[in-house]
Structure 1
């Protein structure tokens, strides 16, 4: 059977137009920060290209801010969330139905285990649970480096600081980042994005950028979506904490769960029946 020349020509022309459109969108994203409507349209049209880019071993994710200036803007979280929602459409709103329930279960389990690391009680249930979660596990030993000889055993507080830290001011956050860098740099482990409460406001710290949020649960949701939309690894210190969140709240499969994580997840189920 002979192929239709007109059909082939039409397909080639369509591919050429798609290629030109992609090129124009990338040129736009590599320089513009407004208007947001146009930014979002170009961001969505370049989805496949960017996903492949983020998965390349040679691509350093902190360079995203130079390549795409729009990622430094306050609205950037909406862009990362749009990517996540496209990859996992069935998980778009799951945090709102599962998050509060799991947070209550974490608090109940902490009461049974008599885990109470705070001087004063925290009234916000979601925030209290997220601060408690890192204290529910024994510290894990981290080994990494070219010789695989580097060893670091973070305390529970240090695990919390890699996940969700509370500070009086931004200077305190910067001091904590500096302290963690001194511990992790020799192990060739990057400081991954984390949540923070400064004063009465919540933030996501992402490679030097700060994104302001209105609640602890919303911060958790968007930080989780950043990890999965940008193909990032969880922080080395709190990997087990994020595995609990991935399984219990987002209902997404995990490979290589530790026995401690499996046990804790089973304990949580008792409080959610």
Structure 2
């Protein structure tokens, strides 16, 4: 879709994006942009799981509960394991360097408060224990975008305990797209960003750039990853290349 429209305008103009079949349309549009990249996350993710687990096992930022989740990967099935890994991924990826902002009263430049790990994780995906909470998430998202005049952005939804996922979705404004598994929810979210020309959520941008560059092998001039993120991307791409 090459038109210069907002996400809201796209959804209003094209009724086909407001039904479950829209998932196929987003895939097709992404494949036109990047014909060889559509299946790369699915095909490459499992190759890198041992490396990500090893990196997380040596990470000192994990709390006790997160260490238990990481250890549980030996005994649970892949879909749930992917939810756990993606929930811990922010520990390996530095957040964006905060820009300075000017105090209204003094005119002095100050640094914004650094995001907590929980805030970064919640910006990457939404974790619900009950599917009945979906409507509340939609309402809060609408209120926030209207209050701060933000662009509507897709975000993955994981339902159920991280050790036993029961459903996954992607939400975009008022639309809910059900997906077959955790990895597909992130894959669809990523492709929607490209198909509708919308930015990644700012607080989770480094996480999405990691997936974009390491797995889909897409480099854009605007990415500007940090040195630490570039290093991790290089590690993961090397693992993928070794097993290809």
Provide the TM-score with structure 2 as the length reference.
Answer: 0.75
- Higher alpha-carbon Rg: 1
Question: Are residues 1:228 and 2:194 paired?
Answer: yes
Paired with 2:197 and 2:172, the residues of 1 have a C-alpha distance of 14
1:64-79 superposed matches below 5 A = 64-79=10-25
Among 119, 131, 140, the alignment partner of 1:158 is 119
Contact 2:95–2:206 (8 Å) recurs in 1: no
Contact 2:8–2:152 (8 Å) recurs in 1: no
Question: Are residues 1:178 and 2:140 paired?
Answer: yes
Cα deviation for residue 183 of structure 1 reads 9.9
Where is the helix percentage greater, Structure 1 or Structure 2?
Answer: 1
Cα deviation for residue 154 of structure 1 reads 2.3
From the superposition, tell whether residues 114 and 184 of structure 1 become closer, same or farther in structure 2 (CA, over 3 Å). Answer: farther
From the superposition, tell whether residues 68 and 108 of structure 1 become closer, same or farther in structure 2 (CA, over 3 Å). Answer: same
Contact 2:153–2:193 (8 Å) recurs in 1: no
Cα deviation for residue 138 of structure 1 reads 4.1
Question: Are residues 1:201 and 2:201 paired?
Answer: no
Query: Larger RCO: Structure 1 or Structure 2 (Cα < 8 Å, ≥ 6 residues apart)?
Result: 2
From the superposition, tell whether residues 182 and 266 of structure 1 become closer, same or farther in structure 2 (CA, over 3 Å). Answer: same
Cα deviation for residue 190 of structure 1 reads 3.5
Paired with 1:152 and 1:95, the residues of 2 have a C-alpha distance of 33
Structure 2 SS opposite 1:241 = helix
Question: Are residues 1:265 and 2:211 paired?
Answer: no
Partner of 1:9: none
Structure 2 SS opposite 1:90 = coil
Cα deviation for residue 104 of structure 1 reads 3.2
Cα deviation for residue 102 of structure 1 reads 2.7
Cα deviation for residue 191 of structure 1 reads 5.1
Question: Are residues 1:91 and 2:52 paired?
Answer: no
Structure 2 SS opposite 1:234 = coil
In structure 1, stretches of 5+ residues that fail to align are: 1-49
Cα deviation for residue 63 of structure 1 reads 2.1
1:205-224 superposed matches below 5 A = 205-224=171-190
Contact 1:102–1:248 (8 Å) recurs in 2: no
Partner of 1:252: 218
Root mean square deviation, CA, Å = 3.3
1:2-81 superposed matches below 5 A = 50-51=1-2, 53=3, 56=4, 59-81=5-27
Paired with 2:156 and 2:171, the residues of 1 have a C-alpha distance of 6
Question: Are residues 1:82 and 2:23 paired?
Answer: no
Provide the TM-score with structure 1 as the length reference.
Answer: 0.68
Paired with 2:52 and 2:146, the residues of 1 have a C-alpha distance of 29
